[in-house]
Structure 1
Amino acid sequence: MTLFSRVLALACLLAVSFGLVACSVRAGNPGVGPRSAQLGDDGLFRNVADPSDRPTAGTWAIWSRLLFETKEGAVPVDAIPVRRIDRAMLDALDPNANHIVRLGHSSHLLKLRGQYWLIDPVFSDRVSPVQWAGPKRFHAPPLSLQELPPITGLILSHDHYDHLDEGTIAYLRERVQRYFVPLGLRARLQDMGVDPKRVEELDWWQGSSHAGVQLTAAPAHHFSGRTLFDRNSTLWASWLIQSGDERIFYSGDSGYFAGFKTIGERFNRIDIALMENGAYDNYWPSVHMSPEETVQAFKDLGARQLYLVHNSTFNLAFHTWQDPLNRVADIAEREGLPLATPEIGEVLTVGQPRQNQRWWKDLR
């Protein structure tokens, strides 16, 4: 790879995944409604102040590392196992239960008591402003966009490219009944061709319901932005999804913070927690959790089962691709924690017993 192409790819990576290079020029806030407690006088969103926050490394330090440090083991040599699924298999799932299908990274298809929902769906080959540069998928999705059933609801956690994928949204825009997003993302979706009347924006702790599913946007400790010029112009969130008597928590992207304990206390019972576990680094310690912090956040929530997301699909950091899985699995085994590390395409039925496997154990 030439130096020019490497710089270009790394620029895409920065814009895509972290937005770590801040710029003095700020874009206006796109379409935010009533004033949020998270919105500063400068028109930018911010995290709740946390004394345990650790600073992100400087711009030059990050760029130098990305340009000159060689990654070891960040991309799998062997094929990631993918369980192919189709519409018939999905429709055969018990319509009275809640099912979670892992599509890859943080993307999930939910079948909630017979109706289909999506979380942060990304079907494109790359998470990038362009499809000819930037982080490329390790594996294909377990089903194609064209094979998806009609979608009752779509939930977004924030606007980074590995969570908000324009190609996927463009295809789905007429196939989704309703979108649930943090503040500011209605305008993003409208720019992608989505009817804004179908989009419901929520601030932290605001709730809504649709087709029998109750949703609450909850705090996360992260940031937003799709370019170097619009950092924190939209909000980020975690989500609590209740279908019937069962509650599913999705962390979105987040550093570890005291808010996980608050969320656990507020919701009292969480049946399964889909927790970020990947893309961490000591150069950006407060926007992504280390594996040990992921476990602590799960304990803070008081959830019944830990389900790992945000790994095994894209190369977004310097750790090996297996490291997030190994470190949490070791802790879970040592402490007897109820862990789920499903293969891509695997279906997990909430509340049903399953035998967890280290499917990555023998892969390079």
Structure 2
Amino acid sequence: MTKTPFTITRINNACVLISIGEHHILTDPYFLDVSFIGITELAAIEVKDLPPLTAILGCHDVTDHWQMEGLVDYPHDKDDVTLFVAMDSQVITAKEAGFSQVEVLEWGEKRTLGANLIIESVEGQNMLKWTVNNYVIRLGATAIFFGGEARDLSPLAEYYKNNGSVDIAILPVNGVHLMSYYQLVMTAKEAVEATKLLGAKQLFTIHDAHRPIPFFININSSGEDAEIAASKETNIEVIRMPTGQVWSNSSLSA
């Protein structure tokens, strides 16, 4: 079965724009630079230049993944956008920014937007005070996995067991640890393993733009480490894109 063409535009950090069919889905919005967050990339797209969005997905409620202040000036009808989030606090800030269609999507739940776009919430992790969601976007035979703050591998293996493979895994690779000992996201090597567990052959790297903060934030790996790890797995392609660049799956088929 032929796969539906889609593109992924990397905006910065874990914020990407996924365009598939007639739909545009924005993930983990972060458009306004906040110096103490420590993101080394500026947003490659201005909010005013976004297309009309079908959905916005938020993995959890931390500024570098959920910055609704940056979307206050979204230029299209906010009532036409459905937002799926992991935490009640995200609902509050989304509504403060003028978005009315906001829902906490519990792990294992799915919603259909329009006639055929399916958004699924996949178990992430409970982390300190945060709940973390992963998501799968489905249109026809195409499935895109997005885990902006993904860390744990076992839920991904379980997802594959119950639902089959995805076409591409969009995953973090810098292995951020809090104060050296508490892991927040998966490492590059774990991202390659996660891609395998999901049955995908391509890993699109994100969450690779944090700077270390002494005694607080440690960066344990990078996209380059993902390429090294994947070089030992002949069927895994690592896709590393500069901000503002667009990747297309137009050559994929099944």
* Shorter-chain TM-score tier: 0.7 to 0.9
Letter in 1 for 2:91: R
CA contact (8 A) 2:125 2:151 kept: yes
SS of 2:73 mapped into structure 1: helix
Distance 1:215 1:181 in 2: 11
User: Cα 1:284–1:112, aligned 2, differ >3 Å: closer, same or farther?
Assistant: farther
* Equivalent-residue separation in structure 2 for 1:112 and 1:311 (angstroms): 24
Partner of residue 243, structure 2: 344
Do the aligned residues in 2 keep the contact of 1:305 with 1:338 (CA within 8 Å)? yes
| Counterpart selection for 1:327 from 199, 208, 225 | 225
Residues 222, 341 of structure 1: alpha-carbon distance in 2 compared, 3 angstrom cutoff? farther
Quote how far apart the aligned CAs of 1:174 are: 4.4
Instruction: Return the letter of the residue paired with 1:156.
Output: G
Correspondence for 2:15: 107
Provide the C-alpha distance between the structure 2 equivalents of 1:281 and 1:179, rounded to a whole number of angstroms.
28
Q: Deviations over 1:19-44 (max 9, x none)?
A: xxxxxxxxxxxxxxxxxxxxxxxxxx
Q: Deviations over 1:212-261 (max 9, x none)?
A: 3101101012437xxxxxx24xx320001002221000112132341121
- Partners of 1:222 and 1:254 within 8 A in 2: no
Query: Which residue of the partner structure matches residue 179 of structure 1?
Result: 83
* Contact 2:177–2:184 (CA under 8 A) maintained in structure 1: no
Partner of 1:22: none
Checking the alignment, whether the CA contact within 8 Å between 2:68 and 2:93 is kept in structure 1 is no
The CA distance in 2 between the partners of 1:148 and 1:264, in whole Å, is: 32
Question: Counterpart amino acid of 2:138?
Answer: Q
Measured against aligned partners, the alpha-carbon deviations of 1:266-287 in whole angstroms (never above 9, x if no partner) come to 2202000001112523824443
Q: TM-score, normalised by structure 1?
A: 0.60
State how 1:167-246 maps to structure 2 within 5 Å: 167-172=69-74, 174-175=77-78, 177-184=81-88, 185-195=90-100, 198-211=101-114, 212-223=116-127, 231-232=129-130, 235-246=131-142
Q: Which one has a larger percent strand, Structure 1 or Structure 2?
A: 2
> In angstroms, what is the RMSD of aligned CA positions?
2.3
Aligned to 1:21: none
Alpha-carbon distance, 1:334 to partner: 3.0
Q: Percent identity?
A: 19
Q: TM-score, normalized by length of structure 2?
A: 0.84
Cα distance change, pair 252–140 in 1 and its aligned pair in 2 (3 A): closer
Residue 260 (1) aligns with residue 150 (2)? no
Counterpart for residue 140 of structure 1: 42
Measure the CA separation in 2 of the matches of 1:213 and 1:241: 7
Cα pair distance change 1:315/1:342, threshold 3 Å: same
1:8-60 Cα distance to aligned partner (Å, 9 max, x none) = xxxxxxxxxxxxxxxxxxxxxxxxxxxxxxxxxxxxxxxxxxxxxxxxxxxxx
AA at the equivalent of 2:219: H
- Matched with 2:60 is 158
| Structure-2 separation of matches of 1:274 and 1:108 | 9
Identify which range, 134-143 or 203-212, moves more after superposition: 134-143
Aligned residue pairs total 239
Q: Identify which of 177, 198, 201 aligns with 1:301.
A: 198
Contact 1:271-1:351 within 8 A present in 2 as well: no
Q: 2-side partners of 1:287 and 1:216: how far apart?
A: 22
| Bigger relative contact order (CA 8 A; separation at least 6) | 1
2:187 is the counterpart of 1:290: yes
Contact 1:247 1:271 in 2 (8 A): yes
Which structure has the larger Rg over C-alpha atoms?
A: 1
Compute the displacement of 1:114 (Å).
Answer: 2.6
In 1, the alpha carbon distance for the partners of 2:135 and 2:109 equals: 10
